[in-house]
């Protein structure tokens, strides 16, 4: 029989490499000298994404707009001061002098003196009018409602932004885990290529020695071709995962991504389901959004109710007017007014607006209750998913150890001519499948931990 033992000793070494490929992290591309744990690396990437992500930048702009709305609402309580100026050229308007000048001329004739001017030139309106105007609201309950509404809108925008930040933190971690898992899969599959190359060479030697038929070589080549196809698909998924991850951090698609040792992937806090739920109901942004919606509805109620109350304002103006500009005390004009406005009836519009505000508040309260139930459901599902994934870690490790041992036995039997090529390839496939399964199991567990972190709002976010 043709001696194939030295060749399979080399295969044995390759199998050892394959068995540990899924547990040894790739070299850190960004920090080769000081490798980071998975948690440290993810925290760094989360911080980067929260700074650079374009979708989050839009939420920040929306919050700035809401802050400006609050400043605008506060400004309505302050006086407004403006300058109004008008100068007109008239044609065809009534000139009061046309009526006064003849009368004054007759009086001068009767008295024999020029006591009265006969060149009066005055039109209405005056040719020019320039004045400073000041308006100060004294009482207007609608302004208080508008300010409360603006603050509620600001709080809503802030909660929405925080919710987007939390979702982005989860997305960036899951995207990294997806990329890392494809890298590990490619490494595991590529570690199998030399093994199948050796299998093809061994099959050729066995056929040359007359110890095997040509179908053995055909199966070996087919197995190697199938593996190459799997590697190409895994590389495609790796490239897609890299592009998706870099989009979240607003970087070029081909920007390198650092990896970490798989053994440092995720740590699960030993908190009970009840404790996690209580934390989620206190810190989830969806509840803050619902609370802001209720506050906004109350503000709308106040604005609708304010229509039943009078509004009082102080108005004052000071300036000059006349047929031309004369800046002296004789041409100064001053005016001060206390203005009250009270809408007695407008066809039931105010009542309808108040009913709308009441319905909006009820709707917001139901929305908050619905959000509480949805959060409880999400957390329960995420908690169970973590527990289930945790239990599969040991199973995956046992499966890999068993597949490795089985392949080692089949390898020896095949080297001694006691196992068929079909048995050898089947054992090899089972071993590779077990290695890939452990990679998937580990990263699936880490992904579910991230989802539990998001559901329970465990991650602290910057302001």
Helix axis angle, 141-208 to 285-306, nearest 10°: 160
pLDDT of residue 13: 35
pLDDT tens, position by position, 269-299 = 778 999 999 999 999 999 999 999 999 999 9
In angstroms, rounded to a whole number, what is the distance separating the alpha carbons of residues 412 and 41?
43
CB 187 within 8 A of CB 435: no
Tell me: pLDDT of 345 over 70.
Answer: yes
In angstroms, rounded to a whole number, what is the distance separating the alpha carbons of residues 391 and 445?
9
Which residues touch 291 (CB under 8 Å, ≥6 apart)? 155, 368
Closest CA to 284 of 157, 120, 459: 459
In angstroms, rounded to a whole number, what is the distance separating the alpha carbons of residues 290 and 368?
5
The answer to whether the bond into 125 is cis (omega within 30° of 0) is yes
- 95 strand-pairing partners: 123
- Mean pLDDT (the chain) is 86
End-to-end CA distance of the chain: 74
- CA 199 vs CA 76, 92, 135, 194, 421: distances in Å: 84, 111, 93, 9, 9
- CA 351 vs CA 307, 348, 356, 358: distances in Å: 9, 5, 9, 11
Which residues touch 21 (CB under 8 Å, ≥6 apart)? 184, 187, 188, 191, 435
Give me the residue label for tokens 């209750």: 369
Q: Are strands 128-139 and 80-87 parallel, antiparallel or unpaired?
A: antiparallel
Q: Among 36-40, 178-182, 415-419, which stretch is predicted with the lowest mean pLDDT?
A: 415-419
pLDDT of residue 101: 87
In angstroms, rounded to a whole number, what is the distance separating the alpha carbons of residues 241 and 234?
10
Which secondary-structure segment (H or E) carries 86?
strand 80-87
CB 326 within 8 A of CB 389: no
More confident residue, 153 or 201: 153
Tell me: pLDDT of 85 over 70.
Answer: yes
Backbone angles phi, psi at 123, to 5 degrees: -120, 155
CB 396 within 8 A of CB 441: yes
Q: Among 3-17, 90-104, 186-200, 242-256, which stretch is predicted with the lowest mean pLDDT?
A: 3-17
> Which residues of the chain does CATH 1.20.1600.10 include?
5-88+138-312+342-456
Here the tokens at position 200 are 């093809």
pTM of the model: 0.78
CATH architecture of 5-88+138-312+342-456: Up-down Bundle (1.20)
Here the tokens at position 135 are 């308006």
In angstroms, rounded to a whole number, what is the distance separating the alpha carbons of residues 165 and 342?
47
Residue 318, Cα to own-chain centre: how many angstroms? 53
CB 76 within 8 A of CB 137: yes
More confident residue, 301 or 417: 301
In angstroms, rounded to a whole number, what is the distance separating the alpha carbons of residues 171 and 179?
12
pLDDT tens, position by position, 146-189 = 999 999 999 999 999 999 999 999 999 999 999 999 999 999 99
In angstroms, rounded to a whole number, what is the distance separating the alpha carbons of residues 374 and 372?
5
């Amino acid at each position: 029989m043709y001696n194939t033992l030295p060749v399979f000793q080399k295969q044995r070494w390759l199998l050892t490499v394959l068995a540990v490929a899924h547990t040894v992290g790739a070299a850190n591309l960004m920090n080769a000298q000081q490798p980071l744990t998975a948690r440290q690396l993810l925290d760094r990437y989360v911080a980067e994404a929260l700074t650079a992500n374009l979708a989050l930048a839009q939420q920040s702009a929306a919050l700035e707009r809401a802050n400006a709305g609050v400043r605008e609402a506060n400004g309505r309580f302050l006086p407004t001061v403006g300058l109004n100026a008008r100068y007109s050229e008239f044609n065809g308007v009534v000139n009061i002098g046309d009526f006064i000048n003849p009368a004054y001329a007759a009086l001068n004739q009767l008295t024999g003196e020029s006591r009265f001017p006969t060149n009066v030139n005055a039109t209405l309106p005056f040719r020019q009018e320039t004045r400073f105007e000041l308006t100060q609201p004294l009482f207007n309950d609608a302004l208080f409602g508008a300010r409360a509404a603006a603050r509620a809108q600001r709080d809503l925008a802030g909660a929405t932004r925080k919710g987007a930040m939390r979702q982005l933190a989860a997305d960036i971690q899951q995207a990294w885990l997806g990329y890392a898992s494809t890298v590990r899969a490619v490494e595991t599959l590529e570690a199998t290529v030399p093994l199948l190359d050796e299998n093809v060479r061994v099959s050729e030697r066995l056929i040359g020695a007359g110890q095997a038929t040509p179908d053995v070589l055909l199966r070996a080549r087919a197995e190697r071709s199938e593996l190459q196809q799997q590697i190409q698909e895994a590389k495609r998924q790796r490239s897609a995962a890299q592009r998706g991850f870099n989009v979240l951090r607003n970087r070029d698609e081909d920007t390198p991504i650092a990896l970490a040792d798989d053994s440092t992937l995720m740590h699960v806090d030993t908190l009970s389901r009840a404790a996690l739920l209580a934390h989620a109901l206190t810190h989830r942004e969806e509840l803050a959004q619902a609370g802001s919606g209720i506050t906004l509805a109350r503000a709308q109620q106040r604005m609708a109710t304010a229509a039943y109350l009078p509004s009082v304002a102080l108005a004052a103006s000071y300036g000059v007017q006349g047929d031309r500009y004369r800046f002296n005390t004789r041409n100064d004009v001053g005016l001060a007014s206390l203005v009250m406005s009270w809408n007695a009836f407008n066809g039931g519009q105010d009542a309808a607006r108040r009913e709308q505000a009441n319905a909006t508040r009820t709707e917001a309260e139901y929305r908050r209750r619905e959000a509480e139930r949805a959060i409880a459901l999400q957390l329960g599902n995420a908690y169970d998913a973590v527990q289930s994934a945790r239990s599969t870690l040991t199973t995956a490790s046992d499966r890999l150890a068993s597949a490795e041992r089985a392949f080692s036995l089949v390898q020896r039997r095949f080297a001694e001519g006691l196992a068929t090529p079909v048995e050898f390839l089947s054992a090899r496939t089972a071993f590779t499948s077990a290695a890939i399964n452990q990679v998937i199991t580990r990263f699936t567990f880490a992904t579910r931990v991230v989802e539990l972190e998001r559901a329970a709002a465990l991650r602290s976010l910057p302001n």
